């Protein structure tokens, strides 16, 4: 599709009857763009039918072969390869139909000014084809990749289509936002915090005033709570946010927006284990699976503030609270060691290679909670303040 963008712009314009249905305060200009692109796609296919041609769409290839690391931008990027998916092809007919159904479902969603889960959309599109025993979809594992196809084909994030996954994560800090029309002071959210929704695009969330100087992403909710309870965000003027492990898209996208729109530096605080490095890596450069989204999710400037494999010595953490690396950890660490974005040279050293090799040499991993061995608030009162002060981070 990407190459055919110009074909049908005029016809597409009459499409959106959607304004009548908009119930709430969503300016939703981006969703309107997405609706326009969806209509272009539909009209292009309809034109092929009218012209007596085999209808089809060009879907950019989502595979490792079509992905590369953009050294300059510091992002994982998708290449230009695309494949035609057409109706009169026995191997593609079903997928073609499914693509049209998902596109149609997404369009219905935008016209109704609603959002829904990817599971909902699966059920929305699932039915038995009249006169047969064949279902349009049998499993959600069929519709999920089609959603990704549609994202890359249209150049729209799924959030712009109105699709989301299970929400996860919370945020507090000195900032006032508008969420779906409600003004929310994130410094007055008690112990629970504001639950970060899946869709945080600017038609839903707008940033208002605030005094935050940086964003701190914390791997785990339980550790985040320590920072919240100790009011770290107040003393250090920052937003604290967690995503319950690997941060979901909503959390990543929100941090991206705070970084790019509000120019806030981003610090990532994770366990010292290969999984922690990987979480940081995805926040920083994007994931290989979804390279397409990197440009609008990845934060190449994100800093790794901890835990570092050198922290054990720096902070005199007792051996008893470390955990031995298992075979899977070692395999994973070696894999990550070879990621192109961890090959950065600084002067004569490779700080990231050193970091990971040092963990391998010690043979142990270290969780954030291990710092509680010193004192419950050691992490908020000593560990992080010192690391920030001494600029002990990697990027």
Report the site for its own copies in 111-140 (rule: CB under 8 A): 112, 114-117, 119-124, 126-128, 135
The least CB distance from residue 356 to its own copies, in Å, is 23
From candidates 156, 198, 294, 308, binder to its own copies by CB under 8 A: 198
The least CB distance from residue 338 to its own copies, in Å, is 31
Q: How far is CA 179 from CA 25, 250, 305, 354, in A?
A: 10, 13, 29, 43
Q: How far is CA 286 from CA 21, 131, 155, 283, 347, in A?
A: 36, 45, 16, 6, 26
Question: Is 178 an interacting residue with respect to its own copies (CB under 8 A)?
Answer: yes
**Which amino acids are annotated catalytic?**
123
Which one of the spans 29-37, 218-226, 288-296, 342-350 is the region binding its own copies (CB under 8 A)? 218-226
Q: Which secondary structure element, helix H or strand E, spans residue 116, and what is its range?
A: strand 116-117
Question: Is 226 an interacting residue with respect to its own copies (CB under 8 A)?
Answer: yes
Which one of the spans 50-58, 105-113, 147-155, 292-300 is the region binding its own copies (CB under 8 A)? 105-113
From candidates 367, 384, 388, 395, binder to its own copies by CB under 8 A: 367
**Closer CB to its own copies, residue 127 or residue 213?**
127
Which one of the spans 57-65, 261-269, 325-333, 364-372 is the region binding its own copies (CB under 8 A)? 364-372
Report the site for its own copies in 321-360 (rule: CB under 8 A): 321
Q: How does 277-299 read in b/e, with b if 16+ C-beta sit within 10 Å?
A: bbbbbbbbbbbeebbbbbbbbbb
Token pair for 200: 């945080």
Burial of 30: CB neighbours in 10 Å, binned 0-12, 13-18, 19+: middle
Question: Is 204 an interacting residue with respect to its own copies (CB under 8 A)?
Answer: yes
Length of the chain: 395
Burial of 71: CB neighbours in 10 Å, binned 0-12, 13-18, 19+: exposed
**Closer CB to its own copies, residue 65 or residue 191?**
191
From candidates 196, 212, 298, 356, binder to its own copies by CB under 8 A: 196
Count, residues near its own copies per rule CB under 8 A:
65
Question: Is 249 an interacting residue with respect to its own copies (CB under 8 A)?
Answer: no
Q: Which secondary structure element, helix H or strand E, spans residue 82, and what is its range?
A: strand 82-86
394 CB neighbour count, 10 Å cutoff: 18
Quote the crossing angle between the two packed helices 274-285 and 249-261, to the nearest 10°: 50
What is the three-class DSSP state of 337?
helix
Which one of the spans 48-56, 104-112, 296-304, 307-315 is the region binding its own copies (CB under 8 A)? 104-112
Token pair for 147: 């959603």
**Closer CB to its own copies, residue 289 or residue 372?**
372
Which one of the spans 91-99, 220-228, 256-264, 285-293 is the region binding its own copies (CB under 8 A)? 220-228
177 CB neighbour count, 10 Å cutoff: 20
Contacts of 344 (CB under 8 A, 6+ apart): 350, 351, 352
From candidates 69, 87, 96, 194, binder to its own copies by CB under 8 A: 194
Question: Is 221 an interacting residue with respect to its own copies (CB under 8 A)?
Answer: yes
- Which residue do the tokens 């070696």 mark? 334
CA Rg value for the chain: 23
Question: Is 225 an interacting residue with respect to its own copies (CB under 8 A)?
Answer: yes
The least CB distance from residue 286 to its own copies, in Å, is 24
Report the site for its own copies in 372-391 (rule: CB under 8 A): 372-373, 376-377
CA atoms within 13 A on the CB side of 5: 8
**Closer CB to its own copies, residue 88 or residue 376?**
376
Give the binding site for its own copies (CB under 8 A): 108-109, 112, 114-117, 119-124, 126-128, 135, 164-168, 170, 177-184, 188-199, 204-205, 220-223, 225-226, 229, 244, 318-321, 367, 369-373, 376-377
């Amino acid at each position: 599709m990407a190459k055919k963008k110009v074909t049908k712009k005029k016809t597409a314009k009459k499409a959106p009857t959607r304004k009548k249905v908009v119930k709430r305060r969503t300016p939703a200009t981006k969703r309107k763009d997405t609706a326009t692109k969806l209509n272009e796609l539909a009209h292009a296919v309809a034109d092929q039918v009218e012209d007596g041609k085999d209808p089809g769409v060009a879907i950019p290839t989502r595979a490792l072969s079509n992905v590369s690391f953009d050294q300059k931008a510091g992002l994982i990027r998708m290449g230009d390869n695309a494949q035609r998916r057409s109706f009169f092809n026995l191997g593609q007919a079903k997928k073609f139909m499914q693509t049209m159904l998902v596109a149609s479902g997404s369009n219905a969603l935008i016209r109704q000014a609603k959002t829904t889960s990817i599971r909902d959309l699966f059920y929305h599109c699932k039915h038995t084809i009249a006169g047969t025993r064949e279902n349009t979809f049998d499993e959600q594992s069929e519709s999920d990749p089609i959603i990704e196809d549609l994202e890359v084909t249209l150049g729209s994030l799924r959030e712009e289509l109105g699709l989301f996954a299970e929400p996860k994560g919370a945020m507090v800090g000195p900032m006032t936002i508008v969420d779906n029309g409600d003004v929310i002071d994130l410094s007055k959210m008690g112990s629970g915090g504001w639950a970060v929704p899946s869709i945080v695009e600017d038609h839903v969330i707008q940033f208002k005033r605030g005094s935050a100087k940086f964003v701190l992403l914390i791997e785990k909710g339980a550790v985040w709570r320590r920072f919240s309870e100790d009011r770290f965000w107040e003393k250090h003027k920052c937003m604290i946010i967690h995503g319950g492990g690997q941060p979901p898209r909503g959390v990543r996208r929100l941090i991206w927006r705070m970084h790019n729109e509000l120019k806030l530096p981003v610090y990532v605080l994770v366990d010292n284990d290969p999984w922690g490095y990987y979480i940081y890596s995805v926040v920083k450069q994007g994931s290989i699976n979804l390279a397409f989204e990197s440009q609008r999710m990845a934060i190449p400037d994100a800093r790794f503030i901890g835990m570092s494999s050198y922290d054990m010595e720096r902070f005199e953490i007792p051996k008893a609270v470390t955990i031995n690396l298992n075979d899977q950890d070692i395999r994973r660490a070696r894999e990550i060691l070879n990621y192109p974005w961890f090959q950065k040279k600084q002067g004569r050293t490779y700080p990231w290679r050193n970091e990971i090799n040092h963990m391998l040499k010690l043979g142990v991993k270290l969780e954030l909670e291990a710092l509680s061995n010193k004192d419950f608030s050691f992490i908020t009162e000593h560990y992080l303040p010192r690391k920030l002060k001494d600029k002990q981070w990697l990027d």
